[in-house]
A = this chain, B = another copy of it.
Amino acid sequence: MQPKMEVGVLGATGMVGQHFVKFLNGHPWFDLKWVGASDRSSGKAYRDATSWRLEGAMPAGVAGLKVEDSKPGNAPKLVFSAMDASVATEIERAFAEAGHIVVSNSRNHRMEPDVPLLVPEVNPDHLKSIPLQQKNRGWKGQIATNPNCSTVVLTLALGAIKQFGINRTVVTTMQAISGAGYPGVASMDINANVIPFIGNEEEKMETETQKILGDFVDGAFRPHPMKVSAHCNRVPVVDGHTETVSVEFSNKVTAADLINAFNSYRSVPQERNLPSAPKQPVIYMEEPNRPQPRRDVERERGMAVFVGRLRPCPVFDWKFICLGHNTVRGAAGAAVLNAELMISEGLFD
Within 8 A of B (CB), among A151-168: 168
Asked whether, in the complex, the Cβ of A321 is within 8 Å of the Cβ of B174, the reply is: no
Asked whether, in the complex, the Cβ of B195 is within 8 Å of the Cβ of A192, the reply is: no
Asked whether, in the complex, the Cβ of A292 is within 8 Å of the Cβ of B194, the reply is: yes
A332 to B193, CA, bound (A): 22
A190 to B236, CA, bound (A): 10
CB neighbours (8 Å) of A246 from chain B are 170, 229, 231
Q: A186-B182, A246-B229 are in contact. Are A192 and B191 (CB under 8 A)?
A: yes
A189 to B51, CA, bound (A): 12
A176 to B343, CA, bound (A): 45
Asked whether, in the complex, the Cβ of A316 is within 8 Å of the Cβ of B196, the reply is: no
Asked whether, in the complex, the Cβ of B183 is within 8 Å of the Cβ of A314, the reply is: no
The answer to whether A148 has its CB under 8 Å from any CB of chain B is no
The answer to whether A227 has its CB under 8 Å from any CB of chain B is yes
Asked whether, in the complex, the Cβ of B188 is within 8 Å of the Cβ of A186, the reply is: no
The answer to whether A238 has its CB under 8 Å from any CB of chain B is yes
Asked whether, in the complex, the Cβ of B228 is within 8 Å of the Cβ of A315, the reply is: yes
Interface residues in A, total, Cβ within 8 A: 59
Asked whether, in the complex, the Cβ of B293 is within 8 Å of the Cβ of A194, the reply is: yes
CB neighbours (8 Å) of A263 from chain B are none
Asked whether, in the complex, the Cβ of B293 is within 8 Å of the Cβ of A193, the reply is: yes
| Stretch in A95-103, A138-146, A267-275, A294-302 touching the partner | A294-302
Asked whether, in the complex, the Cβ of B188 is within 8 Å of the Cβ of A184, the reply is: yes
Asked whether, in the complex, the Cβ of B197 is within 8 Å of the Cβ of A314, the reply is: no
Q: A177-B188, A182-B186 are in contact. Are A315 and B229 (CB under 8 A)?
A: yes
| Stretch in A53-61, A79-87, A252-260 touching the partner | A53-61
Cross-chain contact of A244 among B178, B196, B299 (Cβ < 8 A): B196
Within 8 A of B (CB), among A76-123: none
Asked whether, in the complex, the Cβ of A177 is within 8 Å of the Cβ of B172, the reply is: no
The answer to whether A74 has its CB under 8 Å from any CB of chain B is no
Cross-chain contact of A238 among B191, B296, B321 (Cβ < 8 A): B191
Binding site for B on A (CB under 8 A): 53, 55-57, 168-170, 172, 174, 177-178, 182-197, 206, 227-229, 231, 233, 235-238, 242, 244, 246, 288-296, 298-299, 308-309, 313-316, 319, 321
29 A-B pairs (CB sep. < 8 Å)? A55-B294, A55-B295, A168-B315, A170-B170, A170-B246, A170-B313, A170-B316, A172-B231, A174-B233, A174-B235, A186-B186, A187-B189, A191-B237, A191-B238, A192-B238, A193-B293, A195-B289, A196-B244, A196-B308, A196-B309, A197-B288, A228-B315, A229-B313, A229-B314, A231-B246, A233-B242, A235-B235, A236-B236, A236-B237
